[in-house]
Amino acid sequence: MSDAPRRPPEPIPVTLLTGFLGAGKTTLLNRLLSDPGLADTAVLINEFGEIGLDHLLVQHFDDATVLLASGCLCCTVRGDLVEGLEQLLRRMDNGVIPPFRRVLIETTGLADPAPILHVLMMHPYLVMRFRLDGVVTVVDAINGNATLDEHPESVRQIAISDRIVLTKTDLVETAEDKAGYELLRARLRALAPGAPVLDGARGEATPQALLNAGLFDPSAKIPDVSRWLADEAVDAAEAEARGRTHDPNRHDERIRAFTLATEAPVSAAAIDMFLELVRGTHGPKLLRLKGIVKLAEDPERPLVLHGVQHVLHPPSQLAAWPDDDHRTRLVMIVRDVEPAVIRRLFDAFMGLPMPDQPDGTALTDNPLAPATLRR
Ligand X SMILES: Nc1nc2c(ncn2[C@@H]2O[C@H](COP(=O)(O)OP(=O)(O)OP(=O)(O)O)[C@@H](O)[C@H]2O)c(=O)[nH]1
Among 11, 22, 152, 265, binds ligand X (CB under 6 A): 22
| Least distance (Å) between residue 50 CB and ligand X | 14
| Least distance (Å) between residue 108 CB and ligand X | 6
* 20-36 burial: b if 16+ Cβ within 10 Å, else e: beebbbbbbbebbbeee
* CA dist., res. 183 & res. 179, Å (int): 6
| Least distance (Å) between residue 188 CB and ligand X | 16
Among 13, 15, 18, 27, binds ligand X (CB under 6 A): 27
Tell how strand 286-293 and strand 130-140 pair up.
Answer: unpaired
> Smaller CB distance to ligand X: residue 27 or 154?
27
| Least distance (Å) between residue 133 CB and ligand X | 20
Residues in contact with ligand X, shown as a per-residue x/- string from 247 to 266 under the rule CB under 6 A? --------------------
Asked whether position 24 contacts ligand X by CB under 6 A, the answer is yes
Among 12, 13, 14, 19, binds ligand X (CB under 6 A): 19
* Nearest Cα residue to 259 out of 227, 291, 283: 291
> Smaller CB distance to ligand X: residue 170 or 300?
170
Tell how strand 286-293 and strand 328-335 pair up.
Answer: antiparallel
Asked whether position 21 contacts ligand X by CB under 6 A, the answer is yes
Q: Is 287 helix (H, G, I), strand (E, B) or coil?
A: strand
| Least distance (Å) between residue 68 CB and ligand X | 13
Other C-beta atoms within 10 Å of 239: how many? 10
> Smaller CB distance to ligand X: residue 170 or 298?
170
Asked whether position 26 contacts ligand X by CB under 6 A, the answer is yes
Cβ–Cβ under 8 Å, residues 32 and 103: no
* CA dist., res. 156 & res. 284, Å (int): 12
Asked whether position 200 contacts ligand X by CB under 6 A, the answer is yes
Asked whether position 322 contacts ligand X by CB under 6 A, the answer is no
Among 12, 13, 25, 211, binds ligand X (CB under 6 A): 25
Asked whether position 117 contacts ligand X by CB under 6 A, the answer is no
Q: Per CB under 6 A, which of residues 156..185 are in contact with ligand X?
A: 167-168, 170-171
Asked whether position 154 contacts ligand X by CB under 6 A, the answer is no
Residues in contact with ligand X, shown as a per-residue x/- string from 71 to 110 under the rule CB under 6 A? --------------------------------------x-
* CA dist., res. 107 & res. 137, Å (int): 10
Q: With both helix axes pointing from N to C terminus, report the angle between 231-243 and 175-191 in degrees, rounded to the nearest 10.
A: 110
Q: Residue 33's Cα: distance from chain center in Å?
A: 22
Cα distances from 281 to residues 253, 274, 327, 341, 345, in angstroms, run 21, 11, 26, 11, 11
Number of helices (H) and strands (E), helices first, in the chain?
Answer: 14, 13
Asked whether position 193 contacts ligand X by CB under 6 A, the answer is no
| Least distance (Å) between residue 234 CB and ligand X | 27
> Smaller CB distance to ligand X: residue 111 or 266?
111
Asked whether position 329 contacts ligand X by CB under 6 A, the answer is no
| Least distance (Å) between residue 202 CB and ligand X | 9
Question: Under 8 Å CB-to-CB from 65, ≥6 apart: which residues?
Answer: 42, 43, 44, 45, 55, 58
| Least distance (Å) between residue 106 CB and ligand X | 7
Angle at 240 between CA 335 and CA 357, to 5 degrees: 75
Residue 285, amino acid = K
Among 12, 16, 23, 305, binds ligand X (CB under 6 A): 23
Contact residues for ligand X, defined by CB under 6 A: 19, 21-27, 54, 109, 167-168, 170-171, 200-201
